[in-house]
Structure 1
Amino acid sequence: MNDDRDNALLSLVDVVKIYGTHQVLNHINLDVPQHHVITLIGASGSGKSTLLRCINGLEDIQGGEVRYAGEVISGEGVDRVAICRKIGMVFQSFNLFPHMTVLKNCMLAPVRAQLFTRGEAEHRARELLQRVGLAEKADAYPDQLSGGQQQRVAIARALVMEPEVLLLDEVTSALDPELVGEVLDLIRSLADRGMTMVLTTHEMAFAQQISDTICFMHKGIILEKGRPEDIFERPREAATQAFVRRFVQAGAH
């Protein structure tokens, strides 16, 4: 266990999150090795999205630590901008600024954070828009794009900051079914390039294909963790078995 933690790029150690009287995360421990893809699955309300927000510092935690490359990045006095440079996040709602072009949406954060000059940020943004297949949309506005295109822009925007870890929170849930594939293909290409990712998804077939590790969350804990084939074909816990069974049955109809 200690060897895993020593080798992890990102670690959660006994992380606790409480809203009022409700404990949303109950002593979460998770190690994320570099170049690995870890997928969080589970019912709505199990704590998946909250866990991602705690990793990125968008939510304060009430216990435990979040560590990046061995350094604590949770708690008082942490540089949130520095965290965002290392750990990017993409949300289910695209969160693009409607009054800015696609290119300016992608350039804004690195220029404000003084990570790049404006010229460097533009070059980087155009490169990434090319990679996500939207170079020709650089001067378009978000409302001129489909939902799938907007989500690909949101991913490009996160990558402009050159993060080491990318968090993806249900990034296809707001999309029409016919647009889901293009976003999943992009995420798959990032995994193939060795991007370290932690993601939540209801796309179980995709989770099986892309993940090094699956974590099944249930009532604020990681109830079961393992390789995709272990979780989907040989789940040990009754709650995991019931969850997987529902998706198998849904896929059969």
Structure 2
Amino acid sequence: MSDQQLVQLDRVTKKYGEHVVLRDIDLEVRQHEVITLIGASGSGKSTLLRCVNGLEEIQGGRILFDGDVVSGPGVDLVALRRQVGMVFQSFNLFPHMSVLKNCTVAPVKNGQVNEATARTAAMEMLQRVGLADKADSFPDRLSGGQQQRVAIARSLLMQPRVLLLDEITSALDPELVVEVLDLVRELAHGGMTMILTTHEMSFAREISDRVCFLSRGTIVEQGPPEQIFGAPVEAATQQFLRRVTEAGRL
């Protein structure tokens, strides 16, 4: 893990009208670090990721990437999203495009590379995620796990410095979860900086450098996984993990 700080949230607040979704969030993410956000549904985990990627505007505080402020008016969101990729739980593949075209359309459209270079890079990435033989297939011919691996490959082709993963296995059948988690595990071992939300607590415990427990829009507790899962300090964290254990997810 590097000491270089890539992402910083400084007293970030997000509201929908009078409803506060995130309240005074402070979070720092270093290069090559894997941060997992845990907490009940509605605790603000996904909203936090969407704020980092500029998909949601914040109403207080600031967000910095590599030392530059990337929140507020005048931010180049296209440039930000080249650096900060995001993969969603619902895949978001273009149904009318082949797997290969899904992977090449953004780099070509953004002027990063020409079509031929994009195709070569996409085929190499699809080989890496085990789907080169599906390059000409359309999304509806793939399993959910395959579609999610294509979505991750597509994001990686933008060569992001940080990857945000939002509950990427929650829409999958249980037997398809493993193949996607294996890919994320490979990315972590390769040094990819990641912030992810997940309900897969055993996976979070294995893969994370740091775990943050959110409740009601605040980070209640954070620390290394062995501390958060083994000896949580805050009562709210203890209660959440008890419920998770009783549900058989830890």
TM-score above 0.5, yes or no: yes
Tell me the equivalent position of 1:240.
237
Displacement, 1:247? 1.7
Tell me the equivalent position of 1:35.
32
How many Å separate the matches in 1 of 2:133 and 2:216? 44
How many Å separate the matches in 1 of 2:105 and 2:28? 31
Q: Secondary structure at the match of 2:82?
A: helix
CA contact (8 A) 2:11 2:60 kept: yes
Matched, 1:168 2:165: yes
Displacement, 1:116? 1.1
Tell me the equivalent position of 1:139.
136
Tell me the equivalent position of 2:52.
55
Tell me the equivalent position of 1:110.
107
Matched, 1:251 2:244: no
How many Å separate the matches in 1 of 2:67 and 2:248? 41
Tell me the equivalent position of 1:87.
84
Which structure 2 residue ranges, 5 or more long, are not aligned?
none
Matched, 1:229 2:226: yes
Displacement, 1:208? 0.2
CA contact (8 A) 2:202 2:249 kept: no
How many Å separate the matches in 1 of 2:39 and 2:108? 37
Tell me the equivalent position of 2:126.
129
Q: Secondary structure at the match of 2:178?
A: helix
Tell me the equivalent position of 2:15.
18
Aligned with 2:179 (options 162, 178, 182): 182
How many Å separate the matches in 1 of 2:77 and 2:146? 28
Q: Secondary structure at the match of 2:182?
A: helix
How many Å separate the matches in 2 of 1:138 and 1:239? 46
CA contact (8 A) 2:33 2:192 kept: yes
TM-score (norm 2): 0.97
Greater displacement, 121-130 / 96-105: 121-130
Compared CA separation, residues 174 and 252, structure 1 to 2 (3 A): closer
How many Å separate the matches in 2 of 1:72 and 1:186? 31
How many Å separate the matches in 1 of 2:179 and 2:10? 35
Structure 1 stretches of 4+ with a deviation exceeding 3 A read none
Q: Secondary structure at the match of 1:129?
A: helix
CA contact (8 A) 2:200 2:249 kept: no
Q: Secondary structure at the match of 1:217?
A: strand
Aligned with 2:63 (options 58, 62, 66): 66
Tell me the equivalent position of 2:145.
148
Per-residue CA deviations over 1:220-240 (Å, capped at 9, x if unaligned) read 000000000100010111110
How many Å separate the matches in 1 of 2:4 and 2:176? 37
Q: Secondary structure at the match of 2:248?
A: helix
The size of the alignment, in residue pairs, is 249
Displacement, 1:251? 2.2
How many Å separate the matches in 2 of 1:115 and 1:81? 12
Matched, 1:199 2:204: no
CA contact (8 A) 2:5 2:28 kept: yes
How many Å separate the matches in 2 of 1:151 and 1:100? 15
How many Å separate the matches in 1 of 2:208 and 2:249? 22
How many Å separate the matches in 1 of 2:15 and 2:205? 31
| Residue identity in the other structure for 1:95 | N
Per-residue CA deviations over 1:22-68 (Å, capped at 9, x if unaligned) read 01000101000000100000000000000000000000001111111
**How much identity, in percent, do the aligned residues show?**
65
Displacement, 1:252? 8.2
